[in-house]
Amino acid sequence: MTKTYSAFNIIKEAFKGHKGWSPAWRSPKPKAQYEVIIIGGGGHGLATAYYLAKNHGVKDIAIVEKGWLGSGNTGRNTTAIRSNYFYPESCALYDLSVRLYEKLSIELNYNVMFSQRGLMVVFHSEAEMEMAVRGMNAMMLGGTDARLLDANEVKQRAPLLNYRADARYPIHGAVIQERGGTARHDAVAWGYARAADALGVDIIQNCEVKDVIIEGGTMTGVETNLGPIRASRFGAAIAGHSSVLARMAGYQLPIHSYALQAFVSEPLKPVIDVLAFSSTYGAYISQSDKGGLVIGGGLDRVPSYGQKGNMPMQENVLSGIVEFAPALAKVKLMRHWAGIVDVTPDSSPLIGPSGVEGLYINCGWGTGGFKAIPAGGYLFAHLLATGSHHEISRPFDPSRFQSAQLIDEGAASGIAH
Distance of CA 408 to the CA centre of its chain: 18
Q: Which of 28, 228, 254, 291 binds other proteins (CB under 8 A)?
A: 291
18, 29, 31, 59: which one contacts other proteins (CB under 8 A)?
A: 18
Q: List the one residue from 73, 78, 84, 205 that touches other proteins (CB under 8 A).
A: 205
Q: Are 269 and 160 in contact (CB under 8 A)?
A: no
Cβ neighbors of 221 (< 8 A, separation 6 or more) are: 212, 213, 228, 229, 230, 231
Strand partners, 37: 62, 234
Cβ proximity to other proteins: between 215 and 327 the closer is 327
CA separation (Å) from 85 to 60, 88, 99?
36, 8, 15
272: DSSP letter: -
Does 121 contact other proteins by CB under 8 A? no
Query: Does 7 help bind other proteins (rule: CB under 8 A)?
Result: yes
Nearer to other proteins, 196 or 356 (CB): 196
393 beta partners: none
Q: Give which of 395, 161, 376 is closest to 284, Cα–Cα.
A: 161
Amino acid type, 53: A
H/E element, 412: helix 409-412
Q: Which one of the spans 46-54, 121-129, 224-232, 238-246 is the region binding other proteins (CB under 8 A)?
A: 121-129
x/- mask, other proteins, residues 393-412, rule CB under 8 A, reads ---------xxxxx-x-xxx
With 0-12 CB in 10 A as exposed, 13-18 as middle and 19+ as buried, what is 411? Answer: middle
Any contact of residue 353 with other proteins (CB under 8 A)?
A: no
Residue 54 or 336: the one with the smaller Cβ distance to other proteins is 336
Binding of residue 22 to other proteins (CB under 8 A) = yes
Is 5 a binder of other proteins (CB under 8 A)? yes
As a whole number of angstroms, the distance between CA 328 and CA 350 comes to 38
> Which CB atom, from 190 or from 258, has the smaller least distance to other proteins?
190
Of 228, 248, 268, 389, the one binding other proteins (CB under 8 A) is 268
Chain positions 295 to 314 lying near other proteins, rule: CB under 8 A, are 308, 310-311, 314
